[in-house]
């Protein structure tokens, strides 16, 4: 017996509902105060990244240009060869522009400049045989922030453009985990889960917080399976909607990265900054204001007069 298909009239409401849900995810209005706070965090991280997280990039100024093997984007675009002058100009222009953009002034102009300079900084960083996967979500954040325009810390307005920008970063954060699991399967197969990847990492980079795991049979293998399951389940992150659930998700993700740093001394700081875009930062300015008001209302205890 052949299955009968429902009439088109019955499927049309379901299709419209799915499209409305998808459209709602990408354009759900987001308070501009959230953008203002996250934008400040994202731009202030640039000098931290340039001088601390990826301080080694500036060393490419002393590398012969013959070793420069540009990424695909460096092959498609007429980007300059990273000579000593180019590296230092990009470095200091990026830092200066990011600090100016953190003030919130000229958000489209300065934000676009930060994105383009940081993109070039990453091309300089990753065109010598080492490509990190913890930059994409942060790079997307720098790309979409200029599209929003003016936003203030206490701005009570909401914006669909801001919702689209934060959704783009959220999806990229999710894809970072999901595609990491896909890459493990693509290059290592299921043998990755049963291999000794984490064991080797603990032997090479372990600390007192992780070295004890080498003496527990099967623990690190189980950890690898758990990592794969969680990374493949990353799309479930997109179902998180309420502010409380968003905060819980951020705490979980940052807790995972802090645990990895404590055990293996590996931290994906740019990715962690991108994760912070999920936080409902619009509550932060008001919380700060409430703390200030409580401090001002506290009675001042008079000091006792000195004897005599």
The CA-atom distances, in angstroms, between 103 and each of 42, 83, 112, 177, 278 are: 12, 31, 14, 32, 21
Secondary structure element (H or E) that encloses residue 31, with its range: strand 30-31
Tokens 């699991």 locate to 181
Tens of pLDDT along 255-275?
999 999 999 999 999 999 999
What pTM value is reported for the model? 0.85
Q: How many other C-beta atoms can be found within 10 angstroms of the C-beta atom of residue 109?
A: 13
Nearby residues of 100 by Cβ (< 8 Å), 6 or more positions away: 106, 110
**What's the rounded mean pLDDT across residues 288-295?**
71
Confidence of residue 57 (pLDDT cuts 50, 70, 90): very high
| Residue 195 predicted with pLDDT over 70 | yes
Tens of pLDDT along 171-193?
999 999 999 999 999 988 888 99
| Residue 286 predicted with pLDDT over 90 | no
The span from the CA of 214 to the CA of 202, in Å, is 8
- pLDDT at 282 (0 to 100): 87
- pLDDT at 305 (0 to 100): 52
Lowest mean pLDDT among 34-43, 63-72, 137-146, 297-306: 297-306
């Amino acid at each position: 017996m052949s299955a009968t298909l429902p009439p088109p009239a019955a499927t049309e409401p379901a299709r419209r509902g799915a499209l409305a849900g998808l459209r709602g995810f990408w354009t759900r209005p987001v308070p501009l105060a959230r953008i203002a706070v996250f934008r400040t965090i994202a731009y202030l991280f640039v000098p931290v990244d340039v001088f601390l997280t990826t301080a080694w990039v500036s060393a490419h100024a002393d590398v012969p240009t013959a070793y420069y093997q540009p990424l695909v984007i460096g092959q498609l675009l007429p980007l300059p060869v990273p000579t000593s002058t180019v590296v230092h100009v990009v470095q200091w222009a990026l830092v200066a522009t990011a600090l100016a953009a953190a003030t919130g002034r000229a958000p489209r102009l300065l934000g676009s400049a930060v994105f383009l300079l940081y993109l070039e900084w990453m091309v300089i960083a990753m065109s010598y045989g080492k490509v990190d996967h913890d930059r994409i979500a942060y790079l997307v954040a720098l790309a979409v922030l200029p599209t929003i325009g003016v936003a203030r810390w206490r701005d009570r307005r909401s914006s669909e453009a801001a919702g689209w920008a934060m959704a783009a970063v959220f999806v990229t954060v999710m894809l970072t985990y999901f595609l990491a699991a896909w890459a493990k399967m693509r290059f290592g197969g299921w043998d990755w889960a049963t291999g000794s990847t984490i064991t080797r990492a603990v032997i090479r980079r372990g600390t007192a917080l992780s070295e004890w795991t080498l003496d527990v049979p099967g623990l690190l293998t189980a950890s690898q399976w758990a990592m794969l399951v969680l990374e493949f389940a990353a799309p479930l992150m997109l179902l998180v909607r309420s502010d409380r659930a968003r905060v819980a998700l951020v705490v979980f993700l940052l807790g995972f990265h802090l645990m990895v740093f404590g055990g293996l001394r590996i931290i994906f700081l740019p990715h962690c900054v991108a994760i912070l875009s999920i936080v409902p930062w619009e509550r932060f300015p008001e919380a700060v204001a409430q703390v200030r008001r409580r401090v001002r209302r506290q009675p001042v205890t008079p000091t006792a007069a000195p004897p005599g």
